[in-house]
Amino acid sequence: MLLSMTGYGRGDAPFGTRRLQVEIRTVNHRFCEISLRLPRAIAGLENRMREYIQPRISRGKITVNVTIDGIEAPVTRLRLNDDVASSYFSILEELKQRFQLAGDLELGTFLSLPDVLTWESEDVTEDDAWAQLEPALVAAVADVGAMKAREGENLARDVRARLDAIMASLDRVVERVPGMLQDYRQRIADRLAELKTDPDFNQARLEIELVLFADRTDCTEECVRLRSHVDQFRGLIDSPEPAGRKLNFLLQEMNREANTIGSKASDVPIARDVIEIKEEIEKLREQVQNFE
């Protein structure tokens, strides 16, 4: 299965009293390059994130952005200071009894007293932070993988159509080669009729030239190899493994065989088909740059 190198994925999960979000963007790149942006509170998780991502996205420029509640602020929580609250309550109750004060103590007034509520940093170990981050990362990687697969299938349909076009042109070449040799033999035969009256005419020499020409223009082996490369190309498209680099290599070999066929065949129809084959190979080369 072909995977595009272009994709986007997102995952989110609770992180203490807050919310954590992981976004992954991937674009074309010759190698695997991972760039991470993390809040300071979880900066120590960078290596774990790389170790998780790299086996699952083998090629491309990968940008990972992690946010906590959409900002890069320290992770904090609101805490009730029990000792301070109890002291306030005891003193206020004592004042009411001592001075016979009326009225109820309202919650809003009580909570507004200094130090009843305090903000404090959450103490999160690296293992705890990873346990909370990992589900969001797993979801983001799965999401980007699904998008890359959908885009890859769209590209694969175009690739299959171009491979079909190459095979159609190659079939015409194979069909035309015997006719090309026959045309050449006919031209030689016509010329032979003219030369037979020449006292210097050498029949044996002519037969040798015919054999040499047939050998020079026989592109059967190249056609067989090109067909084999196309078959391998099709197999890689359906392979579960990333195939971008292998496809690039096959395209080089396909182009080499097409060039050899073109140089051997001194025939206009074959030359036309070879040009069409090379055009399709070039278009495939452009498409393959998008594959992981």
SS3 23: strand
Q: Are residues 93 and 183 in the same domain?
A: no
Domain count, the chain: 3
- At a CB cut-off of 8 Å and minimum separation 6, what does 12 contact? 19, 20, 21, 22, 136, 139
Q: Check: pTM over 0.85? Answer yes or no.
A: no
Quote the pLDDT of residue 171.
95
Q: Are residues 154 and 222 in the same domain?
A: yes
Residue 86 has pLDDT above 90, yes or no: no
Tens digits of per-residue pLDDT, 38-75? Answer: 998 898 999 999 999 999 998 899 999 999 985 545 55
Least confident of 103-107, 148-152, 177-181, 251-255: 103-107
- Which is higher by pLDDT, 120 or 177? 177
The helix/strand count (H/E) of the chain reads as 8, 6
Q: Are residues 221 and 138 in the same domain?
A: no
Q: Which domain holds residue 234?
A: 149-288
Q: Are residues 47 and 102 in the same domain?
A: no
Q: Are residues 29 and 141 in the same domain?
A: yes
* 1 in a structural domain: no
* 209 in a structural domain: yes
- At a CB cut-off of 8 Å and minimum separation 6, what does 251 contact? 233, 281, 284, 285, 288
The two structure tokens encoding residue 246: 């292998």
* 2 in a structural domain: no
Quote the pLDDT of residue 230.
96
Alpha-helix residue ranges (DSSP H) falling in 100-219: 107-111, 126-195, 203-217
Quote the pLDDT of residue 111.
76
Q: Are residues 83 and 213 in the same domain?
A: no
* 204 in a structural domain: yes
* 46 in a structural domain: yes
* 187 in a structural domain: yes
Quote the pLDDT of residue 266.
75
**Unique residue bearing structure tokens 């999160």:** 124
Quote the pLDDT of residue 13.
95
**Unique residue bearing structure tokens 């003219």:** 194
Q: Are residues 195 and 138 in the same domain?
A: no
Q: Are residues 107 and 138 in the same domain?
A: no
> What angle, rounded to 10 degrees, do the helices at 220-237 and 244-264 form?
160
Q: Are residues 116 and 131 in the same domain?
A: no
* 284 in a structural domain: yes
Can you give the CATH number for the domain in which 158 is found? 1.20.140
Tens digits of per-residue pLDDT, 236-276? Answer: 988 877 778 889 999 999 999 999 998 887 788 889 999 99
Q: Are residues 153 and 254 in the same domain?
A: yes
* 66 in a structural domain: yes
Q: Are residues 35 and 165 in the same domain?
A: no
Taking alpha carbons only, the member of 255, 186, 262 closest to residue 217 is 262
Q: Are residues 102 and 220 in the same domain?
A: no
